[in-house]
Amino acid sequence: MASVTQHQIQKFHKDGFLVLEQFFSAEECDNMRSQIQKIVAEMEVPPHCRTAFSTREEEQLQAQGSSDYFLTSGDKIRFFFEKGVLDEKGNFLVPKEKSVSKIGHALHAYDPVFKQITHSPKVQELGRKLGLERPVVVQSMYIFKQPGIGGEVTPHQDATFLHTEPLGRILGFWIALEDATEENGCLWFIPGSHTNGITRRMVRAASGASTCVEFVGSEPAYNKKQFIPLPISKGGLILIHGEVVHKSELNSSESSRHVFTFHVMEAKGTTWSKENWLQPTPELPFPSLYT
C-alpha cells in the first residue's frame, strides 16, 4: 500500500470521500471473510430477536425501534437479517449464511481478526495523516449485501445516526472484502455534499414511547443525477466523511458484496450526543484507534 499523499487528503476534504485502492491485501480480506463464516456458523438467534433490517424509515423504526436487541448492540456482536428470509415464526427460509444483512456493532472490540484490522498500523498511520489527535472507534459492522436480496441503502449521512457537537468529527472506514461493482451494490456519493450540515437525526425516543428511536427533521429530496458511483476492487478502502450524502442500490447480481466498516470519532474537543442510539458502556468505553 502506497502512503497517502497530501493531494489525496485535500481531495478528501473537497469531496467528502476518498478511494484508496488495494489498501488491504487479498489475504487480509480472506481472513475477515473466513472469520465471519465461523461467526455465522455458530450464530444462534433467539426468535424474538429476528428483526429484518431495513433502511426505510417506518420499517426502520418498527424493526429497530421496538427492539432492544438493536439498541443494546453497541457493545456486542449481534445479527440483523435481510427482509423475507424468515417466516412469521422466525424460521429461516434460506440457508442461514445467506440470510444475514449485517453483524454489529462491536466486532472491532471483541473479535481478534477485526480488532487487528481496525487498529492495523496502516489505519493508524492514515489517521495521523488526516490529523486525528484522539480518534476513538465507536462502532463496526460486517455488511453482506447478499446476492439478489441485498437491500438498498437509501441516501443518508452517517452523522444522522452518529451525532457529535461540533459536526465534522465522524469518519467512516469502508473496506471492500470483494469487488464492489455497480451490479452488486457499490457506494454512490454526492461529491461535496458534506459541507451543508445535517437535516435529520435519529434519536432515542422518550421512555414509554412505542419505538425506542425516532427521527427528528426531514430528509431532503436528493437529485439522483448528482450521485456518482464508486466501484472499488477487493482490498480497497473508502474514507467517508460523517456528513457526506451516500447510498447503495439493491444487489440484483449473483455475487455478494461483503464489506467491513467501522466509524471513528475525533474525541478531542468533541461531545458525543446522549441522544444517539449508540452509547459507550462501562463494559466498552470507545477504544482509542491508536495503540
| CATH number of the domain that residue 203 is part of | 2.60.120.620
192 within domain boundaries: yes
Q: What is the pLDDT of residue 66?
A: 46
Distance, CA of 130 to CA of 38 (rounded, Å): 34
What percentage of the chain reaches a pLDDT higher than 70?
A: 91
Distance, CA of 238 to CA of 82 (rounded, Å): 24
Overall size of the chain counted in residues: 291
pTM attached to this predicted model: 0.93
Contacts of 263 (CB under 8 A, 6+ apart): 137, 138, 139, 140, 158, 162, 170, 171, 172, 173, 242
Three-state DSSP state, 63: helix
137 within domain boundaries: yes
Q: Where are the alpha helices (DSSP H) in the chain?
A: 6-15, 26-41, 57-60, 68-71, 107-110, 112-118, 121-129
Mean pLDDT of the chain: 91
* Count of structural domains, the chain: 1
User: Quick check: 107 and 287 in contact, CB under 8 A?
Assistant: no
Distance, CA of 113 to CA of 88 (rounded, Å): 35
1 within domain boundaries: no
286 within domain boundaries: no
Given pLDDT bands bounded at 50, 70 and 90, which one contains residue 54?
low
67 within domain boundaries: yes
pLDDT higher at 49 or 112? 112
Range of the domain at 195: 6-272
285 within domain boundaries: no
User: Quick check: 169 and 265 in contact, CB under 8 A?
Assistant: yes
Q: What is the mean pLDDT of residues 248-266?
A: 96
Q: What is the mean pLDDT of residues 143-159?
A: 94
Contacts of 278 (CB under 8 A, 6+ apart): 74, 105, 138, 139, 161, 162
User: Which tens digit of pLDDT belongs to each residue from 192-213?
Assistant: 999 999 999 999 988 777 778 8
61 within domain boundaries: yes
283 within domain boundaries: no
Q: What is the pLDDT of residue 10?
A: 97
Q: Are strands 259-266 and 164-165 parallel, antiparallel or unpaired?
A: unpaired
